[in-house]
Amino acid sequence: MRIILLGPPGSGKGTQAQLLVQRYGIVQLSTGEMLRAAVAAGTPVGLKAKEIMASGGLVPDEVVVGIISDRIDQPDAKNGFILDGFPRTVPQAEALDDLLKHKHLKLDGVIELRVNESALLNRVETRVAQMRERGEEVRVDDTPEVLTKRLASYRSQTEPLVHYYSERRKLSTIDGMMAINEVTRAIHRQLLALGAVEPKTHGKTSAKSAAKAASVKTGAKKAKTAKKPMKTIKKAAKTTKKAAKKATKKTVKKAAKKTVKKSAKKAAKKLTKKRAKR
């Protein structure tokens, strides 16, 4: 499963990307992180990017595409990937199409998280105001002014991608203003429609959890069932004990009565014999 997440700053792309990574066992590819990793690893493309960044220039598309090419060849990207933050422009999208075609790979879909810009700005304004009231430090890039600029940049550069992927029947639009779990479910439904399959390990884990739950339930049921015969046995034992006690008492009483009767008879016989002798 190879997908692109589109959406303006604050649309929740990062959160949803992480949830998809956990669910489908794919990797999240962020251009910023990939650039830093390539520079740190000292790859040919990374060294080229380092030189450009050191001179204060913007890393050209061909270098970024080269870094992405190296990254998707790594074993952990075999099951698929999510591109977050790339492409940002139509030329980058075209370069990505050429790259995937060259590697005999296909892009499965593009998920656009559509949001209300006014609502996003209100959220940021409220959050910043609350932070200032609490005396907390507000990040320079986390202000309504910066967000306004980033949204304008997104509209001019990235929004044309919506039309680009829509024309190629790759685009699915989801309301990013919904609750996080609702957005997650909507994305999952869309990916299933595109033919996404959850890895077997995920299914095994679910099956294992279900089996464990069933085992606990069965054990509890057995324990409950076993409790009933035990109760019956206890009751029977109590009854038997009571009956035995009663029987013993009756036997002792009968034996005592018999002994007394026998002794009295013997004494009377002895007395009669004595009188006859006289």
Give the other-Cβ count within 10 Å of 5's Cβ. Answer: 21
CA distance 124 to 132: 12
Q: Which of 48, 103, 150, 208 is catalytic?
A: 150
Supply the pLDDT for residue 155. 86
Residue spans per domain, the chain: 2-26+79-198, 220-278
278 flagged as catalytic: no
Average pLDDT of the chain is 78
Q: Which of 2, 13, 71, 170 is catalytic?
A: 13
Supply the pLDDT for residue 184. 95
CA distance 106 to 100: 6
> Of 69, 38, 71, 68, whose CA–CA distance to 53 is shortest?
38
State which fold the 2-26+79-198 domain adopts: Rossmann fold (3.40.50)
Paired sense of beta strands 109-114 and 27-30, if any: unpaired
Q: Which of 2, 23, 139, 254 is catalytic?
A: 139
Each residue's pLDDT tens digit, 70-97: 999 999 999 899 998 889 899 999 999 9
123 flagged as catalytic: no
Matching residue, tokens 């109760």: 231
88 flagged as catalytic: yes
User: Is the torsion defined by CA of 223, 225, 226, 228 positive or negative?
Assistant: positive
> Of 69, 98, 84, whose CA–CA distance to 4 is shortest?
84
Q: Which of 23, 50, 88, 114 is catalytic?
A: 88
134 flagged as catalytic: no
150 flagged as catalytic: yes
Supply the pLDDT for residue 182. 96
What residues contact residue 97 under an 8 Å CB cut-off, 6+ apart?
107
Residue pair 159/166 in contact (Cβ under 8 Å)? The answer is no
Each residue's pLDDT tens digit, 174-225: 999 999 999 999 999 999 988 777 766 554 444 444 444 444 444 544 444 4
Residue pair 11/113 in contact (Cβ under 8 Å)? The answer is yes
**Token representation of residue 198:** 């959850």
